[in-house]
Amino acid sequence: MKKKLLSLLLCTVMVGTMLAGCGSKKEETPAANTETEAPAEKEETPAPEEKEEGEAAPAGEAKTVAYITPSTTTPFWNWVEAGIQSAAAEAGYKVEVYDSANDSATQLKNAQNAITAQVDAIIISPTDSASCPAVLEEAESAGIPVIICDIGTDEGNYLAMVSTPNYEGAYEVGKYLGQYMKDNNLSGSVGEITIPLSRINGQNRTKGFEDALKEFGFEVNTVLETSDFTVDEADTQTRNIVTANSDLVAVFANHDQATLGAVTAVADLDLKDKVLVASFDGNPDIVEYLKSGQVLVCGAQQAKKMGKESINALVSHFAGEEVPEEIQVPVLLLTADNVEEYLTEIDEDVCGLN
């Protein structure tokens, strides 16, 4: 843990009544019904003492967790949320989702609202790495533990970071593509559609792919950066890459929507037999594209599993157990040759197939 976060749980005992199960930090609420008051002869329950970080929560105490997502319209984050919700249900936790709409100012406001609502913990997938420290600072001041799920942060204190080994995963994609091109005597330019390079994971993903290609004598000639994560955007970007590189042999799409856009553009331009598509992330459509050969290789992030691990880390924390600072969830390297073998893992831990 980067620094211990002092968890201050301040519960005000109300005169004559107390809500059952008052373990989560909630605002005072007047008693709505005098029939729920404790018997007159029963002494008031004393307020619990402040707990040091890592102290086990009382048995049966429910927790409320805020998940601050970059966007609820991007499928990848919906799968992360699905994993969070699944593990939270098993733990008896409640999850409140805050949509940042890919805006750092909204993200900070979401964090402030979650803190005001007195949530017990925050899971954040930052809009970008530079904006995350402001959220971490607010949470630290309030004594609320934070799990960073993907993206990464430039600095700040947090309980744990759950992430994909982006460099290693993208390196394996680049290695597979480079070996394929070498084995098939292919040569030409390579284009890349990246996630925002203001994100640490975007920087690592790009570098891993490019480092691997260099080992096979290839380089990325054109790099275009995603801004709105839509298929239409990626379709246009792919067409621009084709226009800029008459000898284009491959495109590496750094995220799901970019892959869908690249496949659409390549098919529409009648380049399926000339331009290879390599992918990162993984969704149900890409599984089918692998089977049909429209996508050569995919470094599939286990989005749902990342969400599950984020909740699991909080469960361990509230049980007084040590939580690793870094929790990495491996990338699955999917190809036409092995995708059928991974269908169960894809359904349960990547994106769900049903």
Q: Is the dihedral of CA 49, 139, 67, 305 positive or negative?
A: negative
> Within this chain, do residues 204 and 219 fall inside the same structural domain, yes or no?
yes
- CA distance linking residue 94 with residue 206, whole number of Å: 36
Q: Are 100 and 120 within one domain?
A: yes
Backbone phi, psi, residue 324, to 5° = -60, 145
Q: Are residues 255 and 129 in the same domain?
A: no
- pLDDT of amino acid 353: 84
For residues 172 and 158, state if they share a domain: no
The number of residues making up the chain comes to 354
Same domain (yes/no): 234, 116: no
Residues 244 and 308 in one domain: no
Quick one: pLDDT at residue 322? 96
Answer yes or no: do 224 and 259 share one domain: yes
Which has the closest alpha carbon to 303: 73, 65, 76? 76
CATH number, domain with residue 288: 3.40.50.2300
pLDDT reported for residue 43 = 37
Q: Give 251's strand partners.
A: 191, 277
CA pair distance 3, 325, nearest whole angstrom: 10
Instruction: Write down the pLDDT at residue 4.
Output: 35
The encoded tokens of residue 89 equal 């249900």
> Splitting the chain (354 residues) into consecutive groups of 10 residues, what average pLDDT does each group show?
33 32 35 35 37 39 94 95 98 98 97 98 97 97 98 96 97 98 97 96 96 96 94 98 97 96 97 97 94 97 98 97 97 97 96 82
Domain extent at residue 311:
62-163+304-323
Q: What is the pLDDT of residue 148?
A: 98
In the chain, the number of structural domains is 2
Shared-domain flag, residues 218 and 345: yes
